[in-house]
Structure 1
C-alpha cells in the first residue's frame, strides 16, 4: 500500500477575476473548490492512474470535513487525524494574476496528535511506500520528517520525500528511495545557480552521495532530469503544450514516477511517466486524468 502524508492540507479556492483592480470590489468569472496539499495531490494522481493509496494528515473544523469529503469523492482512501481546535486552512489562488496566492495557516498540531500520526505509521511494513510531501505547520517540530524515517528504518518501507531545505537534508541519512527537488531548490542547497539539465547532474550525484538513492529534478520549462541509483542519467525537455495551471505539477511528477516504478521497476519508464504526469497536469485545469497522462507519455518516449 502507498501512504501519503499531508501535514497541513487545505481547501484550495481557485478563482479567475477579469480585469482585477486593487482596492476595489472584484467579482469572479470562474470558481473551483478543491482539496489541496502535496500528499493529497500525489494520492489523486495515483487514483487517476488506477493505483490505490491512503491519504494521511491532520484536519480540523468544517473545512477539514470538506477536505475529507472531497478527497473521498475523488476515490482516495483517507485516514486523517481530526484536530479539536481551529480549522484546516483555505488557500486562495488567483488564476488571472499568475502565481498570486494567499495561503492560510492551518490548525496547531499538538504533541499528542503528532504521536497519533506516528502510531498510524507504525503499521507500515515491507513493501509499503510512504510519501512525505510539502511543508509542515509551525506548531510541529522541524525534524518531523527525519523522526518518521528513523522510526520506520529497517522495516522495508520505501521512502519518497518531496520537501525543501532542512526537511529534505535531514532525511538523506535514511536513504530515501526518491527525492524530488526542483533546480532552484537544488541550487539553494549548494549555493549555485542551475539553469540547464546538464548543470544539475553533478549536484544530483552529490545528494546521492549524502544518501538519496534516486534524485528526480524538475525544471519547469527546461524539462526534468533523473539521476538514478543504478548510475544512469535520464533527461527530457519539457513536452510541447500550453501552461494552464502549474499548481500540483511537481506532485504529479512524483506520483507518475511512483506509478511507473511500481508497474515495471524500470527507471526509464518511471522517469517518462513522471514527466508525462507532471506536464499533463500543467496543461490541465486541475490534476491530469489517466488519458491525458498516457497520451502525453506516448508522445515523449
Structure 2
C-alpha cells in the first residue's frame, strides 16, 4: 500500500489573471478550488494514474471538511487526524505575468495529534511505500521527519522524502528510498548554483554517499536527473508544452516516479520517464495530471 503524509493540507484557490495589477481590482479569466498540500497532490495524481493510496495528515474546521470531501469524491482513501483548534489553511495561487502565492497558516496541532499520526504509521509493513513531503508547520516538532524515519527503520518500508534543506539532509542517515530535491534546493545544500543537468550529477551522488538510495532532481524546463542505487544515471530534457500552472508539478513527478517504478517492476528507466512526463502534464494544465495526459507525453517523447 502507498501512504502519503501532508502535515499542513490546504484548499488551493488557483486563478488566472491575464494582467495582474497591484492595488487595483483584478478579474480572473479562470479559476479552480482544489484540495492541496504536497502529499495530497501525490495521492490525487496516483489515483489519476490508477494507483491506490491512503492520505494521512491533519485536518481542521470547515476547510478541512472540504478537503476531505474533495479527496473522497476523487476516490482517494483518507485517514486524517481531526484537529480541534483552528482550520486547515487556504492558499491563493495567482497565475499571471509571474506566479504569485499567498499561503495560509493552518491549525494548532497538539502532541496528542502527533501521537495519533504515529499510531497510524505503526501499521505500515514491509513492502509499503510512504511518501512524506512539504514543510513542517510551526505547531509541529521540527524533527518530525527524522522521528518518522527512525520509527519505521528496519521495517522494510520504502520511504520517499520531498523536502528542503535540513528537513531533507537530516533524514539521509535513515537511507530513504528516494529523495526529490530540485536543482535550486540541491545547490543550496552545497552552496553552489546548478543550472545544467550534467552539473547536478556529482552533487546527487554526494547525497547518495550520505545515505539516500535514489536521488531524483527536478529542473523545471531543463528536465530532470536520476542517480539510481544501481549505479545508473538517467537524464532528459522536459517534454515540450506550454506551462500553465507549475503548482503540484514536483508532487506529480513523485507520483509518476512511484507509479512507473511499480508498473515497471522496479525499472528506474520506466520510473524516471513516467515521473518526468507526469510532472510536465501537471505543469501544462490548471489541474493535476491525468493518465491520458501522461500517456500522450510518453508517446510523444518515445
Does TM, normalized by the shorter one, top 0.5?
Answer: yes
Deviations 1:40-98 (A, max 9, x none): 11111110111000000101000000000011111111111111110100001112242
Structure 1 partner of 2:281: 280
What does 1:1-301 align with in structure 2 at a 5 Å threshold?
A: 1-264=1-264, 265-301=266-302
CA positional deviation for 1:295: 1.2
Provide the secondary structure at the position in 1 that maps to 2:161. Answer: strand
Is the 2:172–2:212 Cα contact (8 Å) retained in structure 1?
A: yes
Counterpart CA distance in 2 for 1:166 and 1:101 is 23
- Runs of 4+ aligned structure 1 residues displaced above 6 Å come to none
Counterpart CA distance in 1 for 2:19 and 2:217 is 36
Is the 1:57–1:80 Cα contact (8 Å) retained in structure 2?
A: yes
CA positional deviation for 1:20: 3.2
CA positional deviation for 1:239: 1.1
- Structure 1 stretch 124-133 or stretch 89-98: which is displaced more? 89-98
Counterpart CA distance in 2 for 1:27 and 1:292 is 29
Counterpart CA distance in 1 for 2:296 and 2:16 is 28
Provide the secondary structure at the position in 2 that maps to 1:260. Answer: helix
Counterpart CA distance in 2 for 1:18 and 1:162 is 32
Is the 1:272–1:300 Cα contact (8 Å) retained in structure 2?
A: no
CA positional deviation for 1:220: 0.5
TM-score, with structure 2 as normaliser: 0.98
Provide the secondary structure at the position in 2 that maps to 1:12. Answer: strand
Is the 1:6–1:132 Cα contact (8 Å) retained in structure 2?
A: yes
Is the 1:55–1:78 Cα contact (8 Å) retained in structure 2?
A: yes
Is the 1:3–1:130 Cα contact (8 Å) retained in structure 2?
A: yes
Counterpart CA distance in 1 for 2:25 and 2:163 is 37
Provide the secondary structure at the position in 1 that maps to 2:66. Answer: helix
CA positional deviation for 1:293: 0.4
Counterpart CA distance in 1 for 2:89 and 2:196 is 36
Counterpart CA distance in 2 for 1:215 and 1:174 is 14
Provide the secondary structure at the position in 1 that maps to 2:98. Answer: coil
Where does structure 1 lack aligned partners over 5 or more consecutive residues?
none
CA positional deviation for 1:285: 1.5
Aligned length: 301
CA positional deviation for 1:25: 3.0
> What RMSD, in angstroms, separates the aligned Cα atoms of the two structures?
1.0
CA positional deviation for 1:18: 4.2
Where does structure 2 lack aligned partners over 5 or more consecutive residues?
none
TM-score, with structure 1 as normaliser: 0.98
Counterpart CA distance in 1 for 2:173 and 2:186 is 17
